């Protein structure tokens, strides 16, 4: 009977240690949305965000890069091809396991605690499949502090002189 109690205590203590170890392996992440339109800085809501470990989703990262190239050559390739790649990318991002996800933000800033990984890729998409807003940001993470990410739905040059 005493042996059973000792085993129960050891088991409970080991669970507490494991739980503390898991909590120590969490990283804080703060994501803020940004978008510039005609020189005015806005912070869009009603967008969806997903955070991934890029080493776990290489196909998704490849699709994102392919879409970005296609979107930058939209005049040459046509809008249908870029739109198809966007929709494929969006569907894939929605269906793949993410470290964190938030659908239809109600505020321009969201905070997550995610498992500690070396690097993240954050994707942002418009509210519906007909809202073609898109953003992607890659960031190395640092333990022990909040990691800030600005997810810009505009081209960086559009926001240089924005108010």
Task: Report yes or no on 128 lying in a domain.
Answer: yes
Q: Check whether 141 has a pLDDT greater than 70.
A: yes
pLDDT confidence bin for 7, thresholds 50/70/90: low
Task: Report yes or no on 117 lying in a domain.
Answer: yes
In 7-163, where do the E strands start and end? 26-37, 40-42, 47-52, 100-102, 109-115, 119-126, 134-140, 147-152
Give the span between the Cα atoms of 17 and 88, in whole angstroms.
Answer: 43
Task: Report yes or no on 57 lying in a domain.
Answer: yes
Task: Report yes or no on 11 lying in a domain.
Answer: no
Task: Report yes or no on 89 lying in a domain.
Answer: yes
Number of domains in the chain: 1
Residue-range definition of the domain harbouring residue 108:
27-159
- The pLDDT tens digits for 72-120 are 887 676 788 888 999 999 999 999 999 999 988 889 999 999 999 999 9
Which CATH number belongs to the domain containing residue 61 in this structure? 2.60.40.1120
Task: Report yes or no on 20 lying in a domain.
Answer: no
**Structure-model confidence comparison of residues 131 and 159, the more confident one:** 131
User: What is the pLDDT, as a whole number, of residue 65?
Assistant: 95
The reported pTM is 0.80
pLDDT confidence bin for 12, thresholds 50/70/90: low
**Structure-model confidence comparison of residues 9 and 119, the more confident one:** 119
């Amino acid at each position: 009977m005493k042996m059973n109690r000792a085993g129960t205590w050891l088991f409970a203590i080991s669970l507490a240690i494991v739980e503390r170890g898991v909590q120590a392996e969490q990283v804080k992440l703060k994501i803020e949305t940004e978008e510039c339109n005609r020189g005015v800085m806005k912070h869009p809501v009603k967008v969806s965000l997903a955070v991934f470990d890029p080493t776990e989703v290489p196909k998704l990262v490849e699709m994102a890069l392919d879409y970005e190239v296609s979107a930058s050559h939209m005049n040459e390739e046509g809008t249908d091809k870029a739109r198809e790649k966007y929709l494929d990318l969006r569907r894939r991002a929605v269906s793949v396991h993410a470290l964190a996800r938030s659908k239809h933000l109600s505020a321009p800033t969201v905070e997550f605690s995610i498992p500690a990984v070396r690097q993240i890729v954050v994707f942002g998409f418009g509210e519906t499949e007909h809202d073609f807003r898109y953003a992607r940001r890659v960031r190395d993470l640092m333990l022990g502090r909040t990691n800030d990410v600005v997810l810009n739905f505009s081209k960086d040059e559009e926001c240089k002189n924005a108010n």
